Amino acid sequence: MSAPSGAPFNAQFNLPVRVYYQDTDAGGVVFHARYLDFMERARTELLNARGFDLARFADESRILFMVHGITVRYHRPARLNDLLVATARAASLGPASVEFEQRVERGPDLLVEGRVRLALVDRDRQRPVRMPAVLRQILETSG
Amino acid sequence: MSAPSGAPFNAQFNLPVRVYYQDTDAGGVVFHARYLDFMERARTELLNARGFDLARFADESRILFMVHGITVRYHRPARLNDLLVATARAASLGPASVEFEQRVERGPDLLVEGRVRLALVDRDRQRPVRMPAVLRQILETSG
Amino acid sequence: MSAPSGAPFNAQFNLPVRVYYQDTDAGGVVFHARYLDFMERARTELLNARGFDLARFADESRILFMVHGITVRYHRPARLNDLLVATARAASLGPASVEFEQRVERGPDLLVEGRVRLALVDRDRQRPVRMPAVLRQILETSG
Amino acid sequence: MSAPSGAPFNAQFNLPVRVYYQDTDAGGVVFHARYLDFMERARTELLNARGFDLARFADESRILFMVHGITVRYHRPARLNDLLVATARAASLGPASVEFEQRVERGPDLLVEGRVRLALVDRDRQRPVRMPAVLRQILETSG
């Protein structure tokens, strides 16, 4: 389960995320769907940190990541101006898919945890596509 | 489990939803977290259709619905200017919680389906609160 | 400046818009940028009401509307579960642009008013494009 | 017009902002209203950098910033995975208001520029409130 270099497969990426008014709702806390935005940011920055540019990938290979399924549990609410950490870790890889394990934390507190399953699909025909080796290697290796 | 009128507990509410640029992303389809927004709209309009005003409820009773967990599966993408239907059905009721079964459809096609579990919490202390009878009755009855 | 049928150039389109938690912020009111979303919905439905499908237009003609400038004044806040009306009216047409006059109202009250200027651009090169006659006619005519 | 320390009134704050799928639309660029979100982040971090916590301010003083007016001009579009800078500068102060001058840049290119006028209002009655001295000093001073 580890890459040839010995780097652990399950290396986790941590992204600081600030809560702004735009993320909150009239209940005084972060709106539940906004945590999925925070998680998307963490997944993208995990890839950026490993030299993988999603936008160039979509342009050059015509391959998109499509979210296939999500499971999220909410434990504690985040509030305006909180400084959070959104984490991302590629927990399992399929031939044409990846499942990320993600959390949103505030200091020692786990606020939200989720699993996000993404499929690689051809941009034009929306059909599953085998994961390119370069992407597989990146998801198996820490930055 | 049915109301005196015989209306079924599991009556489903259907809300038409149009897809605008604001809902889409650079992949050319609706961004995955936006379907949760569509589902929230359907839950709210189910309540409105039954005479239950969430905003007044929050003000008067100091009780909020807090999303506790979500599970969503994405089958087919929605696209710009699609006219969708978002559905909501109270699938199960707990003493202080409700689970909605929800779908997003385009004509005969199921695009997205989800389960959204909400807890009733005290607005000020964020503690679980027993569901008021009026709300329980509304969730058990069709409009 | 009017269509052959005599329909006024400046016919206004009115779209009902409900305020959900997703639109509000921790200040208890609608977040200021969300009114721009409401305005986009009204512009799109004005076009739909006149038989003009933005998505097909983008696909077939490779032309996009790009927002070029906005001016918005906020008079009164909208709140959770308010039922608003978002209006759109094509106030002036240029060779490759259109300016919409838009309002968000709650009953007799004007909450927000704005001017949104859009340019027609070629999708691939992002260069200004002359407005097709069919679109010009639609914007000059009421539904 | 400068603080005792000699720091210029118009010191500008710069916030790096990454563009994610959540910010883009089916036109392949950032959706126009999302730039207002980027600008809100820059205003908030300008305050945070100067030790002013908006959330605590709202709780303790019962005062909110309400957006009163915006003027935005869009010059060039931002794209997926772009690394932008959102700037904020308090350009003028009134007794109960502040106007920010803001830009969104990508390297040497100005993409979007705006003026955002905010009023200070009492949270409960939504009436204008005189700007507290501590806030005035912070807006007049660089970090």
CA distance C46 to B46: 27
Chain A neighbors of B28, CB-CB under 8 A:
123
D4 within domain boundaries: no
Q: Average pLDDT in the B29-41 region?
A: 98
Q: Is residue A59 part of a domain?
A: yes
Distances (CA, A) of A143 to A5, A13, A47, A54, B136: 12, 9, 9, 16, 51
Look at residue B4 and tell me if it is in a domain: no
**B residues 38-97 near A, CB within 8 Å?**
40, 55, 58, 64, 66-74, 77
pLDDT digits (tens, 9 = 90+) for B74-130: 999 999 999 999 999 999 999 999 999 999 999 999 999 999 999 999 988 889 999
Q: How far is CA B70 from CA A114, B14, C26, in A?
A: 9, 19, 22
Residue D12 has a CB neighbour count (10 Å cut-off) of: 16
Percent of chain D with pLDDT strictly greater than 90: 87
pTM, two decimals, is 0.94
Q: Give me the pLDDT at residue C9, please.
A: 52
Q: Looking at residue B9, what is its pLDDT?
A: 52
Q: Identify the pLDDT of residue A78.
A: 98
The shortest C-alpha distance from B112 to chain A (Å) reads 9
Beta-bridge mates of residue A128: A121
Q: Is A25 a catalytic residue?
A: yes
**Has residue A9 got a pLDDT over 60?**
no
Contact C66 D58 (CB under 8 A): no
What distance in Å separates the CA atoms of residue D119 and residue D68, rounded to the nearest whole number? 6
Average pLDDT over residues D65-94: 97
pLDDT higher than 90, residue C74: yes
User: Terminus-to-terminus CA distance in chain A, angstroms?
Assistant: 16
The mean pLDDT value of chain B amounts to 91
Residue B8 lies in a domain: no
Structure tokens at B92: 């199960």
Q: Which of these, D83, B27, D106, B28, lies nearest to A45 by C-alpha position?
A: D83
Cβ–Cβ below 8 Å for A27 and B64: yes
**Residue A104 confidence (pLDDT) above 80:** yes
Neighbours of B71 (CB within 10 A): 16
Decide if D82 is inside a domain. yes
Decide if D66 and C73 are in contact by the 8 Å CB cutoff. Answer: no
Q: Are B30 and B23 spatial neighbours (Cβ–Cβ below 8 Å)?
A: yes
- D60 assigned to some structural domain: yes
Residue with tokens 């590629």, as numbered in its chain: A90
CB B115 within 8 A of CB B101: yes
* Residue B78, pLDDT score: 98
Residue of chain A whose Cα is closest to the Cα of C32: A22
Task: Dump pLDDT digits (tens) for D31-71.
Answer: 999 999 999 999 999 999 999 999 999 999 999 999 999 99
Nearest chain A Cα distance for residue C32, angstroms: 9
The answer, for D134 touching chain C at a CB cutoff of 8 Å, is no
Asked if the Cβ–Cβ distance from A66 to B73 is below 8 Å, we say no
- Helix, strand, or coil here: B1? coil
Q: Searching chain A, which residue's CA lies closest to the CA of residue C29?
A: A26
Q: Is the pLDDT of residue C127 over 50?
A: yes
Q: Tell me: pLDDT of B6 over 50.
A: no
Q: Which residue of C has its CA nearest to A25?
A: C25
Q: Do B81 and C55 touch (CB under 8 A)?
A: yes
Give the list of residues 6+ apart from residue C49 with CB closer than 8 angstroms, or none. Answer: C13, C143
User: How many independent structural domains does chain D possess?
Assistant: 1
Q: Is residue C4 part of a domain?
A: no
C108 occurs within a structural domain: yes
ipTM confidence? 0.92
The CATH number for C59's domain is 3.10.129.10
pLDDT at A4: 42
| pLDDT for residue D74 is more than 70 | yes
Across the interface, whether the CB atoms of D44 and A79 are under 8 A apart is answered: no
Which of the four pLDDT bands, split at 50, 70 and 90, describes residue D10?
A: low
C contact test, residue of A20, A23, A29, A31 with most C CBs within 10 A: A31
Tell how far CA A16 is from the center of its chain: 13
Q: What is the pLDDT of residues A10-55, one digit of tens each?
A: 589 999 999 999 999 999 999 999 999 999 999 999 999 999 999 9
Query: Residue C85: which domain range?
Result: 13-140
